[in-house]
Amino acid sequence: MAFNYFDIAHAIETHDFIIDESGGSHGIRDIGLLESVLDHIQNDLYYPEFETKVAHLVFSVNKSHAFSDGNKRSSIALGAYFLELNGLDYCLDRFIIEMENISVHVADNRIDKDLLYEIIYSIINEDDFSEELRIKIIDATNQQDN
């Protein structure tokens, strides 16, 4: 299946809109980090499934701090746009709501990329989180800071 992607200009415009609307500092700390994320999700050898592409996009924008501010917010918005761009409108509301909480735990190193993948997979493919996934999320988010 061929996927639709967006370019760096769209990512920067999205970030700037978020900052204008919700506050924070404009600017890019490292454009190379952002370019790398957007290039990597197009590599089907590394990320063969759509869900792995979304997880990498959200995780990497959140954690790499390519932007001066608003990285968590940008990771959610760009992940949602990627879903929409590929016809997955049915799960956008749930994705945004769940990611508002999850993104904080990703930034705090409580939710790793593998668990983020499971969460995103569930949002895209299931009506609700399984009991097993709920327990994993609870265990991860209840971790004490190191």
Q: What is the pLDDT of residues 48-80, one digit of tens each?
A: 999 999 999 999 999 999 999 999 999 999 999
Question: Who's near 122: CB < 8 A, 6+ residues apart?
Answer: 128, 129, 130, 133
| pLDDT class of 10 with cuts at 50, 70, 90 | very high
The second-level CATH assignment, the architecture, of 8-142 is Up-down Bundle (1.20)
* Cβ neighbourhood burial of 11 (10 Å; 0-12, 13-18, 19+): buried
Percent pLDDT > 90 in the chain is: 95
97-115, pLDDT tens digit by residue? 999 999 999 999 999 999 9
54-71 in b/e burial notation, b at 16+ Cβ within 10 A? bbbbbbbbbbbebbebbb
Residue whose pair of structure tokens reads 């097993």 in the numeric block: 132
* pLDDT reading at 144 higher than 80: no
Percent pLDDT > 70 in the chain is: 99
Annotated domain spans of the chain: 8-142
| pLDDT class of 127 with cuts at 50, 70, 90 | confident
